[in-house]
Copies of this chain bind each other. A is one copy, B any other.
Amino acid sequence: MDIDTVNRMDRPTFVAMFGGIFEHSPWVAARAYEKRPFSNPKALHAAMVAAVESSARDEQLALLRAHPDLAGKEAREGTMTASSVVEQASAALDRLTPDEMARINDLNQKYRARHGFPFIVAVRHYTKAGILHEFERRLANDTATELGCALQQVFAITGFRIAERFDRVEAIPASDSEHLSV
């Protein structure tokens, strides 16, 4: 996929293609669509980031709340998005010891109780030890600071997702692309 193809998409196609970049929040893609044309994938991502940054506080909170817990109920029940499954596996969060699982469950509960949204972290930026360290540190933040931190993490996560959406489809011969479920 190249950026010219994206710039030619009608709105429903564009939202179908990029509605999942921001977790369960296709409204972000729908608003970014109005900013076409994009000069490259980074510009497309920047338009989506700007849509979130200029959205109402309630919409930002809804976006954060659309994310799964880290190694939480959705992971155990197999109801996470494919992107989240791959991301959490990259930091070995799908292969936790019972002690690590118990510690993360406890942190998930405390974090949600304190801040009102799940702990969100760009797991591809951290090792497992780093994720646990950040979890403790960010749990102690005040919620206004933490809302900003969480959005920055969402922007890092979605930057990876956009880059991969372009890389992945380009890397596959056109004749096979119908088998993709991206």
Interface residues of A (CB under 8 A from B): 122, 124-127, 129-130, 133-134, 156
- Taken together, the copies of this chain in the complex come to 2
A-B contact pairs, 17 of them (CB 8 A): A122-B130, A122-B133, A124-B127, A124-B129, A124-B130, A125-B126, A125-B127, A125-B129, A125-B130, A125-B133, A125-B134, A126-B126, A126-B127, A126-B130, A127-B127, A130-B130, A133-B156
Q: SS class of chain A's interface: helix, strand, loop or mixed?
A: helix
Q: A122: which B residues are within 8 A, CB to CB?
A: 130, 133
Closest B residue to A160 by beta carbon equals B129
Closest B residue to A125 by beta carbon equals B130
CA distance A126 to B133 in the complex (A): 11
Q: A133: which B residues are within 8 A, CB to CB?
A: 122, 125, 156
CA distance A126 to B124 in the complex (A): 8
CA distance A124 to B122 in the complex (A): 16
Task: With both chains docked as a complex, state the minimum distance between the C-beta of A35 and any C-beta of chain B, in angstroms.
Answer: 24
